[in-house]
Amino acid sequence: KRVVVFISGSGSNMVALAEASHATDFPAEIVAVISDKADAGGLAKAAAMGIATHAFQRRDYENKTAHEAAILAKLAEIAPDIICLAGYMRLLSAEFIRPYEGRILNIHPSLLPLFAGLHTHQRAIEAGMKVAGCTVHLVTEGMDEGPILAQAVVPVLSGDTADSLAARVLRQEHRIYRDVLRAVAAGEAPTTDSSQSVLSLG
């Protein structure tokens, strides 16, 4: 399966997916990385891995519709089977999602539906949560609200800062995103019934 990964920043999730796809039995290939930021650190990492990159700097476009139209035109050329949003910090319109409905995945650094939106780790700590985690879900028109495909749980430790918690969660993001992409690309509904896929004290 042909996969395009969307990033806005460091792209550590994109790197994790690209590295996983190098396994001969992995049923997906990352054929391109798209970013809304020409200076996204992940673009250089993708290029170094031999993956085509395309930047669509938002300010180069008159409005959101024009920005999305440029990206959609590139996607039509690439013809991906699956789109993975990975640290992509921009909401997609319903018109953008429609042609790819059911084939757009996103990783969110919280146990949705808790803490949708931004600053999830700080909010979890401030709420006194004893656990935190991440979610891979299908992308629908609403923000961070599509069907949940996989989650991983980590402990919130006393003295945790947003950064220390983010680092603990990020390791699990890389793991579950790889597992979900493998399952979806293989045409299987990802399951999290095997215990180690859900509860990670990592």
Residue stretches of the annotated binding site for (6R)-10-formyltetrahydrofolate: 64, 89-92, 106
Q: Would residue 121 show up in a list of annotated catalytic residues for this protein?
A: no
The amino acid present at 37, given as its one-letter code, is: K
Q: Is 75 in the site for ligand GRF (CB under 6 A)?
A: no
Q: Is 11 in the site for ligand GRF (CB under 6 A)?
A: yes
Annotated catalytic residue within 54, 67, 108, 121: 108
Dihedral angle, C-alpha 54, 59, 60, 66, nearest 10 °: 90
Report whether 182 contacts 20 (CB < 8 A). yes
Up-side HSE of residue 194: CA atoms within 13 Å toward CB? 6
Q: Is 83 in the site for ligand GRF (CB under 6 A)?
A: no
Binding positions for ligand GRF, 107-166, rule CB under 6 A: 107, 109
Among 3, 4, 7, 43, binds ligand GRF (CB under 6 A): 7
Tally of residues, the chain: 202
Q: Around Cβ 45, how many Cβ atoms within 10 Å? A: 19
| Residue nearer to ligand GRF on the CB measure, 38 or 73 | 38
| Residue nearer to ligand GRF on the CB measure, 41 or 69 | 41
DSSP state of 197: G
Q: Is 53 in the site for ligand GRF (CB under 6 A)?
A: no
Retrieve residue 17's tokens: 């997916």
Contacts of 61 (CB under 8 A, 6+ apart): 67, 70
Q: Is 113 helix (H, G, I), strand (E, B) or coil?
A: coil
Q: Which residue sits closest to ligand GRF, CB atoms considered?
A: 87
Per CB under 6 A, which region of 10-18, 75-83, 92-100, 157-165 contacts ligand GRF? 10-18
Task: Tell me whether strands 2-7 and 29-35 are parallel, antiparallel or unpaired.
Answer: parallel
Smallest gap from residue 4 Cβ to ligand GRF (A): 15
Q: Is 20 in the site for ligand GRF (CB under 6 A)?
A: no
d(CA 15, CA 152): 19
Smallest gap from residue 135 Cβ to ligand GRF (A): 9
Q: Which are the catalytic amino acids? A: 108
Report the interface residues with ligand GRF, using CB under 6 A.
7, 9-14, 42, 86-87, 107, 109, 170, 173
